[in-house]
Amino acid sequence: MKKLIEENYQSIVNRGLISPHTSMDAFIMKIEEEVQEFIEATQLGTLKEIKEELADIVLTCLNTAKHFGFDIELELNKKIEINKNR
């Protein structure tokens, strides 16, 4: 997973869409944009488009974690344990 996260993050940096100064608010706005595209795809799109938009949401969230130095794998595992114990 770390390779996937790094490759995706670097591809977005290389396109100039993320810089060291990109704020949390900018990431939140991008996540909101991707969620809206996902909603639209579920209403009007094909299954292929729905899958692509869901992947965009996940990748944008992973980019957010990478940018701010979160160990998202660790956090996901913690959350899974919380969910299992509910």
State pTM to two decimals: 0.92
pLDDT tier, 61 (very low <50, low <70, confident <90, very high otherwise): very high
Say how far apart CA 71 and CA 85 lie, in whole Å: 22
pLDDT (mean) for 18-44: 98
Domain ranges of the chain: 1-15+46-86
Q: What is the pLDDT of residue 41?
A: 98
Q: Which residue has the tokens 């909603």?
A: 39
Mean confidence (pLDDT) of the chain:
97
Angle between helices 47-67 and 24-44 (to 10 degrees): 170
The predicted model gives 17-44 an average pLDDT of 98
- pLDDT score recorded for residue 65: 98
